[in-house]
Amino acid sequence: MKINGNTIKPGMIIEHQGNLWRAVKTSNTQPGKGGAYLQVELKDIRNGTKLNERFRAAETVERAYLEQKEHQFLFAEGDQYTFMDAETYDQITLNAAMIGEDQVPFLQDGMAVQIESHEGDPLGVQLPDSVILAVTEADAVVKGQTASSSFKPAMLENGVRCMVPPHIEAGTRIVVNTTDGSYVERAKD
pLDDT mean values, one per 10 residues, the chain (189 residues) = 83 85 85 86 84 88 87 92 92 85 88 88 86 90 66 90 90 90 89
pLDDT of residue 148: 62
Q: 3-state secondary structure string, the chain?
A: CEEEHHHCCCCCEEEECCEEEEEEEEEEECCCCCCCEEEEEEEECCCCCEEEEEEECCCEEEECCCEEEEEEEEEEECCEEEEEECCCCCEEEEEHHHHCCCCHHHCCCCCEEEEEEECCEEEEEECCCEEEEEEEEECCCCCCCCCCCCCEEEEECCCCEEEECCCCCCCCEEEEECCCCCEEEECCC
Domain spanning 130-186: CATH superfamily: Nucleic acid-binding proteins (2.40.50.140)
- pLDDT for 185 equals 92
Same fold, 2-63 and 130-186: no
Q: Does domain 67-126 have CATH number 2.40.50.140?
A: yes
In Å, how far are 28, 127, 143, 174, 177 from 149, measured between CA atoms? 35, 29, 13, 18, 19
Q: What is the pLDDT of residues 2-29, one digit of tens each?
A: 888 888 887 788 888 888 888 888 888 8
The pLDDT tens digits of the residues spanning 126-153 come to 889 899 999 999 888 766 665 566 888 9
Q: What is the pLDDT of residue 43?
A: 86
Confidence (pLDDT) at 136: 93
- Domain covering 2-63 in this structure, CATH number: 2.30.30.30
Q: Where are the domains of the chain?
A: 2-63, 67-126, 130-186
Confidence at residue 161, expressed as pLDDT on a 0 to 100 scale:
92
Residue 63 bridge partners (DSSP): 14
pLDDT at site 147: 55
